Structure 1
Amino acid sequence: MSPLEQAIEEIAIKLFNEMKKPIDEEFASLKEEIRMLNKELATLDKPLKAKELAEKLSVSTVTVHYWVKKGCPRHIKSEGGNPYYILREVLNWRTNNSQIKSIESCK
């Protein structure tokens, strides 16, 4: 390989690496976003107490109990046990019952 060809190859490699760096950074960022989304998706079917549900949806527990009176789905662990909520079900219910607001929005 001639010195000119070698210099051209070195420049090409350097340019390639410089162009590749932002792509690698963007790829790493996208991987992190996907990881976070997967983590969030995993919580959609996790049983939540009323307080946890309220925190997730930025409402009060009073609102959660109001929603239950209006038909929001909930589950009972056992006789006399505490109710729990599945976020995916509650979000679907809220989407289909958009006229039912939170207690906070009524003030």
Structure 2
Amino acid sequence: MEKFIMIIIITLLVSSCSFQQKKEFIWINPSGNIASEDEIKNVKCECEYDKKIKYASKLIGISISAGRYQSNYGSTQPDAYVKEAAKIIQDANNCVREKGFTSREKTKP
């Protein structure tokens, strides 16, 4: 029993070390400064950024859940969903870049 508990503890410790922190990004406005919340909100609204990213996320979810399989109605190709999602994400990012905004990884002080 003690060996079993020890194995569980070691497994938990090892698995907790494998998680990486999520990268954080900041938006930079056209003048090269950190963009304000209002600037970010406005450019995202103009480009329908959040709407596009949400739809792309939905497409990727469909792709993952569908998988490749054959049915009586023909084959389902999840790659098409992924390609469409990638195009939508790229379009959203291009719109924001055309407005002069960029993003970069947040650096730790």
The TM-score with structure 1 as length reference comes to 0.29
The TM-score with structure 2 as length reference comes to 0.29
Q: RCO higher in 1 or 2 (8 Å CA, sep ≥ 6)?
A: 2
Instruction: Report the structure, 1 or 2, having the larger helix content.
Output: 1
- CA radius of gyration, larger in: 1
Instruction: Report the structure, 1 or 2, having the larger strand content.
Output: 2
